[in-house]
Structure formats: C-alpha cells, structure tokens
Structure 1
Amino acid sequence: MKLKRSVRCLATVAAGAVVAATLQISTAQGATPGEQVQPIDWTTFGTYAGTDAMGQRTKTILANESRYLIGPAYASKYTAYAADGYLNLGGKAEEAVRLPAMTALSAAIALKLGVYNPVNLSAANATTRDVNLIRTVAARHKANNTDSATAWGSGWQTSLWAYYDGMAAWLMWDKLSATDRDKVVNMLVAEANRFTTGNATFLIGTSGQELYMTRKDGTSADAGDSKVEENQWSAALLGLATAMMPDHPQATAWSTRHKELLVAATARPADLTNPATINGIQLSTWLKGSNIGDDGTVINHGLLHPLYMILDQGLNEAATAGLAKKCAPVAALRNTNFVYDALVDKRYPTSNGGTNTVYQPNSANIFYPQGNDWGTTFAGYFGGFDALVSIHGQDGLVATKASTWEKLHNDAQIALQARHADGHTYANNSENSYFGKEQRIGVISGLSYLSLWLNGNSAGDKACWS
C-alpha cells in the first residue's frame, strides 16, 4: 500500500428527465454514453497468483462462492426472459436488483482474475450468464426504463446497487455490446448526479437524510443509526463514476462530493474541532456532525454493532481507483485504525459483570456486546475486512495484527463452505438472516481478492492513497 502526499428519504428523479439529460451531455460531447468510459487498460498490469497464505484463503472463498452464485443459484433463479430480451429479475426491490448485481460483481472478479472454478459450468458459459446479469440490471434502471413495475433507482440504497453492477460492467467491458454499455453509463450518471446537489448537512439537496447520526450541537439526527454505511456506499458510486469517466462534464462535481462523503462517513466528535485539512476539506469548519465514537465504536440498529464497524467499503476505494491507475482519496482511510482497535482491543461489559473484546483471542468467535440482530455467523465478513486492513496498513494501534485475525476468520469461513458441495456458505437463516447472505460473501471475497491482486501485482503495487 502506497500513501502519496500530494436514504432513507431521497429526492426522486423522473426517468425521462434522466434519460434526456444523459443524452444531451452525450450529444454535446459528440459521443455515445458508453464512449465516455475509459476501459481498464489491462496491459499495464502484471499478474498475481494468490499463492501467499492470505491470497490462497481469499482465492478459495471467492472460487467457492462465485461458482455457486453464477452456477446453481443463477440457474434456479433466472429461468425466464422478458419480451425485450433481458432477464426477468422478479421486480424492482432490493432482493430483485441488489442480489444479481452482487452476483455479477463477484463472478466478474473471479472470471477476470483467473479465480473462477469451472467444475460444473465452463468459464465461457459463466461469462455469458454474468453479462446477462450486468446488462439486465442496467437496462432496468429508471434512466433506461419507464416500466413502473420493473424500473429501479433514485432510492435510499440504489447507489450501492449501481456501484456493484457498474463495477462488474467495467471489469467485463469488452464483453458488453455498445447498447448495453450506454445503459450502464446512463445508470451510473443518473445515480451519481443526485449526490452533487447535497451539502455539508444533507446527503441530497437541502432536506431529507442527513450525513450524520449526531449533529455538531449534540442533537440526534438519527438516534441509534450511524450514517457510515450510507455515506460510504454513496461515495463508492461516485468514486467508480469518476474512475470510469474522468473526462465526463460532471466528473469534477462527482470527485468533490466523493471526498466530502468520505470525510463525513467516519467523522468522530474529536474531528469537529480538528483544524486538519483532508483532501481539501478542513474538518473543523466543514463537518456538521459525527458518525462514530471517539473510541471507534459504531452504533446501528440501536446497538453497538460490530458488523457496522466493518469499514470495507471505504478500504475498497483503492481498488476502484487502482484500476484507473489513480490513487484513492486518503479520506477513505480516516479513523479506520480507531475502529479496528475497537474490534480487537477495546473491552466491553459482559452480562456476568466481566469484560470481553469483540475479537476473541486465538479464536474466530465474535463477541457482540449488545447482541446481533442479523444472526450468529459472520466469519467471512470479518475476514474480508481483516485482509483489507492488513493490505492497507490500518492495524497500527492493535497488538495482534490484522493478518493473524484474517487467518482465523477466513479459515472459519472456508470451513463453512466445506459443508456444502456447491461451495455456498450458509446452512440456515439463523446463521445469517439477510436474504443476500451468499451474494454478500461473494462481493466481500471478490473485492478483497481484487485488492490483493492490485497490491501484489507483478508490475508493482497498484493500490495507493493521496
């Protein structure tokens, strides 16, 4: 890792207006939407075999999960095409859109980086399925689709879905038709442009969802629900749009808002009086609130919640930028070391009057100080984060380094997959109640492996921060 010094309530954008705006920009540039994308120049990268211990574990998890997702999971879910030639996704809600987008990204990384296991489905057929998912998710976005029954977008979480699908599309750009490339760009531009209307207080516009859980004056903007996650996934979409389309007329606005959301995402109360300037933003004057405790803890769903202390979305910024041969904003790293220390070393009260750490010494077990409303089994979530923390050197405050925890957690994740011949992870909903639990393992392991691939590339470390 190199360091260079150098909503829930969102505004709605009409699909027709988005399409018109996108086409006007494209016409002014004399290019179709898809031609505004700078494809990944794979010739500038070398290789990474993943033969180191961390690489082997991450590679195994990704190979297992991607084989399951693009194989039997795809075959059981995507059984019909609509009249327009795109897959029938089953609607426009999170389950219908986010899940295929996550599958597309995990499979794209596995296929592109040579991790895919073709034991039951050839790489060629897996690629065909992956392209089908990518093109369908983009085609169903409001920027390309006026059917109210299937059109998605402009919602609380939709920037994340667009990020997953857009990242997959960029990786598989050479496999997409010109028409489908245009639709991917229309989707990304529509989602990205919403955020440029926000300010230092609100995510979008001048009302609705705020950027913070706690305001600067100490009042609560959203009690018990940190905005770390929402800010980081919105920033991820902006970072991707900027990386893919650096010469787009809106790229400067996207880049500015990208940095702002990253600064807001992990702001601590101590930052509110900190005169430091990060990526051109002075913390004490710009910040209007905070999202994590000074001790690195994160509150979500009304709980001190270790799952929401997994800041993988911020650390994944280096992978997105690295594919464009750029450095990611150092704001994405800010306070990650405090959060990781709160997972590893901070002690929390237990019900028997003692104290305990979230990470259990010499064990893959996780202690949830106030419980976990998602289930019991998340080794792969923590293992993916451990890998990223280790790659990007964010474990400077802890006694036991991230590489040690990565082995414990990812060995446990591999053991979970070993229970199932098709490579999937979970046995039941009590282990993890999220309906996209398998897809979540897919993107966690995929993006962790992409970071490893960039960091250990034979052509030199391609991951950096500025």
Structure 2
Amino acid sequence: IAIAIKTGIYDPSITGVSLQEAKDKTIQLVRSVAYDHKINNTRKVWGGDWQAAHWAYFAGYSAWLLWDDFSPKDQTYILQMIVAEADRFLPTVPLYYKDSTGKVIFKGDSKIEEDAWNAELMYLAAVMLPSHPHSNKWLNKAVAYMIAATSLPSDLHNSKIIQGRPVSSWVNGSNMEEPGFVINHGIIHPTYNAIASMINAPIVFSLVGKSTPEAARFNLDKIYYSITTHSFSAPPYNAPGGPMYKPGTADVYYPEGSDWGQGVYDTYANLDIAAFTYGWDNLSKKYKGKYWAKLHTDKVLAQQNRFADRHTYKGDSENSYPGREEAIATRMGSAWMTIWLQKQAPAVYDNQPISK
C-alpha cells in the first residue's frame, strides 16, 4: 500500500477504500510493528531473532516511503527498531551452507535468504541514517552479507575486486552450487533462486539518488543463468529435465519438486523484471528477462482474474505459505518499484571501497 501511495498509482475505485483510509491503515500497521519491538520497552513482543531483520526491513521501508505522515514519536520508535536490528549484526559474520572446505554446515538449508534479508535491513539503515555513527559500519557489513548470500564454491578463489577487496577475501564458504542454483528445504529449489531479498538494493539506494554497491549484484547473473538456461538431466532429476524456465509457458520446472507448491509465479516475475532492468540476464541464452517477465506477469494476472476480489491463490495446492497473499504484494510491489524508479532515478552501481 505504501508503494502504491508513494508512486501515485493507488486507485480507490479498484480497492473500494479511500486514499486517506488506506494511508491511515498503513500508518497504523507500521507504527504498531515498531511499537511492539522490544527495543522500545513497550510490550516487547518481538525483535532480535531469526526473521526479525526481515520484518524490520519491511516496516522500516514502508515507513520511509510515507515518513512525513508519521508523528515524531512514531518516527523515534521506527528508527530505534531499525538501529537495534542493524546493530546486532555488527559483531557477527554471515552464515554459509558449506564451509571453505566444502563441508555442509546446514544440511539441505542454504543461508542465502537469511544473509540476504539481514543485509537488506543493514543497507536500509545506512541509507536512511547516513549521519549515524554506525552508518558505514552497517554498509560494510551489508556488503559482506550480500556477497556471502550468493557465494559459490569457486568464489573462494575468485580474485575479482568487489568494494576494494578480492571476492576470495570476503567469503568463508558458499551458499549456492555451481553454476548458481540453490539447495533449500533439502532440494534444488528454484523459488530460492528468485528470493526477493536479493534484488531490492537498487530500489533503496536509488530512492535517495545514491549509487548501489557492486556487491548488491554479485553473482545475480549466475543465479539468473541457472534458472533460465542451465539444463538438468532426467534422470537423476524429475522428468522432463532441461532448464527451470521453459519457452512458451509460465510454468517452472522443479528438478526435485517444490514443498511450497508449483503455482507461484510472482516471485519469478519480480526476478525477471529486475534481471532485464539491471542487466542480470546477460548470461541467459536466447530468451532474456523481458521475455520471461511477460510470461510470468501474464500468469499472475490470469490467476487473479479467477476471483472477484483479485486475490491470487486458490489454496495450499498452489502456494502453501500461510502469508501467500501478503507475500505476493511485497514482491509485485518490488517489481513495480524497479520499473517506476528506473524512470525517475536509474540505478547506478559503484565498486569503490566503503570507508569504515
């Protein structure tokens, strides 16, 4: 809702809710989340645990888009939430699926998503609070987490310079398999090749006209190659084999199945739009991001057109995630921001060292 309001596309004739009521509800939701964070010494409902940075990012980002509509007291609660979550990562190191010897640390459970969403919160904090004494520390740590999130075993010997250092000096393990696919929930999981937390950095930095760190697109071209072009043999993988994306259809091939359901298309649409917007589709053969984006966005629209209220999924058989309707709103909101911001302030990448 905050994205729709910020970019001027909110339409009461479609939602049946006035602009003012939509804004009021958004503010109430966000301020309530911040109020309940334990740093604010209120009800101490949440904070400092596994997904806390993820939720703090969404709340903080939404608040930032409508910042002047929040009271000074609410702004204080929101900033304290963001700072508390960002600060807790300063003494930490990123997590890895495999260590530097190739030993699996977390069986069947890549840490791509945790590292990515923790980085997301830290760079949001750095961009929102550039004068804070920890701003550069947050950004440095965000860079480390972004590189770790999409690291491959070969990156342990990668001499490419990212933000002033060889990639090999940034990483201490890997979270993807060559050439760029992800193991999660015990299987090769295409959904985690398209995880939205990896692709939001250009949005956050572009909102204030700042360059996006080069680390934010590290190996994303390899992720996209692996989902569009890399071929899986069947057997040992499920029939029919081949690439995860199939020309002429929005359907995605899951080499080892999917425990979330196979009716999820919005996550791929978001990835496709980012890929062709930022050029991450450069390794893909024949069909590029724009081709796949149309297939996947058309499929999402077809799903929504099945229902009078335009929700997306018919149930667990398509997407078993409990927050599936809320999740699609965040991902398609991200896709829209990618498109909208490129018209306002096109993303620029910067590979300069980040001072501490």
- The two structures have a TM-score, normalised by structure 2, of 0.94
Q: Aligned partners of 1:125, 1:345: CA distance in 2, in Å?
A: 46
Q: Aligned partners of 1:175, 1:424: CA distance in 2, in Å?
A: 28
Residues 54 and 117 of structure 2 are in contact (CA less than 8 Å); yes or no, is this contact kept in structure 1? yes
**Corresponding residue for 2:267?**
381
Verify: 1:156 aligned to 2:40, yes or no. no
**Corresponding residue for 1:126?**
22
Pairwise CA RMSD: 1.4
Runs of 5+ consecutive residues of structure 1 not aligned to the other structure: 1-106, 204-210
Residues 318 and 328 of structure 1 are in contact (CA less than 8 Å); yes or no, is this contact kept in structure 2? yes
AA of the residue aligned to 1:111: I
- Correspondence list, 1:200-279, <5 A: 202-203=93-94, 211-279=95-163
Q: 1:115 deviation in Å? A: 1.6
Q: 1:348 deviation in Å? A: 1.3
AA of the residue aligned to 1:171: L
Verify: 1:362 aligned to 2:248, yes or no. yes
Q: Aligned partners of 1:347, 1:303: CA distance in 2, in Å?
A: 16
Verify: 1:337 aligned to 2:221, yes or no. yes
Q: Aligned partners of 1:190, 1:274: CA distance in 2, in Å?
A: 34
Among 325, 348, 352, the alignment partner of 1:464 is 348
Verify: 1:319 aligned to 2:215, yes or no. no
Verify: 1:139 aligned to 2:35, yes or no. yes
Q: 1:345 deviation in Å? A: 1.2
AA of the residue aligned to 1:128: D
Q: Aligned partners of 1:373, 1:439: CA distance in 2, in Å?
A: 19
Among 165, 188, 197, the alignment partner of 2:59 is 165
- Secondary structure at the counterpart of residue 377 of structure 1: coil
- Correspondence list, 1:317-466, <5 A: 317-350=201-234, 355-398=241-284, 399-457=286-344, 461-466=345-350
Q: 1:196 deviation in Å? A: 0.5
AA of the residue aligned to 2:112: V
AA of the residue aligned to 1:234: N
Q: 1:146 deviation in Å? A: 4.4
**Corresponding residue for 1:186?**
80
Q: 1:280 deviation in Å? A: 2.4
- Secondary structure at the counterpart of residue 12 of structure 2: coil
AA of the residue aligned to 2:193: M
Find the structure with the greater CA-based Rg: 1
Residues 451 and 463 of structure 1 are in contact (CA less than 8 Å); yes or no, is this contact kept in structure 2? no
Q: 1:278 deviation in Å? A: 0.5
Residues 348 and 357 of structure 1 are in contact (CA less than 8 Å); yes or no, is this contact kept in structure 2? yes
- Secondary structure at the counterpart of residue 250 of structure 2: coil
Q: 1:145 deviation in Å? A: 3.3
Among 277, 286, 290, the alignment partner of 2:174 is 290
Q: Aligned partners of 1:462, 1:195: CA distance in 2, in Å?
A: 30
AA of the residue aligned to 2:118: S
Q: Aligned partners of 1:370, 1:355: CA distance in 2, in Å?
A: 10
Residues 122 and 138 of structure 2 are in contact (CA less than 8 Å); yes or no, is this contact kept in structure 1? yes
Q: Aligned partners of 2:34, 2:202: CA distance in 1, in Å?
A: 24
Q: Aligned partners of 2:60, 2:29: CA distance in 1, in Å?
A: 11
Residues 213 and 227 of structure 1 are in contact (CA less than 8 Å); yes or no, is this contact kept in structure 2? yes
- Cα shift readout 1:322-370 (whole Å, capped 9, x = no counterpart): 1121111111111111111111111113357753221111100111000
Residues 216 and 289 of structure 1 are in contact (CA less than 8 Å); yes or no, is this contact kept in structure 2? yes
Q: 1:176 to 1:356 in 2, by over 3 A?
A: same
Q: State which drifts further: 342-351 or 302-311.
A: 342-351
AA of the residue aligned to 2:64: W
The percentage of aligned residue pairs carrying the same residue is 38
Q: Aligned partners of 1:160, 1:406: CA distance in 2, in Å?
A: 25
- The two structures have a TM-score, normalised by structure 1, of 0.72
Q: Aligned partners of 1:443, 1:311: CA distance in 2, in Å?
A: 12
**Corresponding residue for 1:304?**
188
Q: 1:311 deviation in Å? A: 4.2
Q: Aligned partners of 1:332, 1:376: CA distance in 2, in Å?
A: 28
Q: Could you say which structure has the greater relative contact order, defined with CA pairs below 8 angstroms and 6 or more residues apart?
A: 1
Q: Aligned partners of 2:190, 2:6: CA distance in 1, in Å?
A: 32
Residues 321 and 328 of structure 1 are in contact (CA less than 8 Å); yes or no, is this contact kept in structure 2? yes
Count of matched residue pairs: 345
Q: 1:249 deviation in Å? A: 1.2
Residues 195 and 267 of structure 2 are in contact (CA less than 8 Å); yes or no, is this contact kept in structure 1? no
Residues 35 and 42 of structure 2 are in contact (CA less than 8 Å); yes or no, is this contact kept in structure 1? no
- Secondary structure at the counterpart of residue 296 of structure 1: coil
Q: Aligned partners of 2:241, 2:203: CA distance in 1, in Å?
A: 37
Q: 1:177 deviation in Å? A: 0.4
Q: State which drifts further: 392-401 or 277-286.
A: 277-286
**Corresponding residue for 1:58?**
none
AA of the residue aligned to 1:324: V
Q: 1:353 to 1:246 in 2, by over 3 A?
A: closer
Q: Aligned partners of 1:171, 1:446: CA distance in 2, in Å?
A: 13
Q: Aligned partners of 1:253, 1:224: CA distance in 2, in Å?
A: 31
- Secondary structure at the counterpart of residue 349 of structure 1: coil
Runs of 5+ consecutive residues of structure 2 not aligned to the other structure: 351-356
- Cα shift readout 1:3-46 (whole Å, capped 9, x = no counterpart): xxxxxxxxxxxxxxxxxxxxxxxxxxxxxxxxxxxxxxxxxxxx
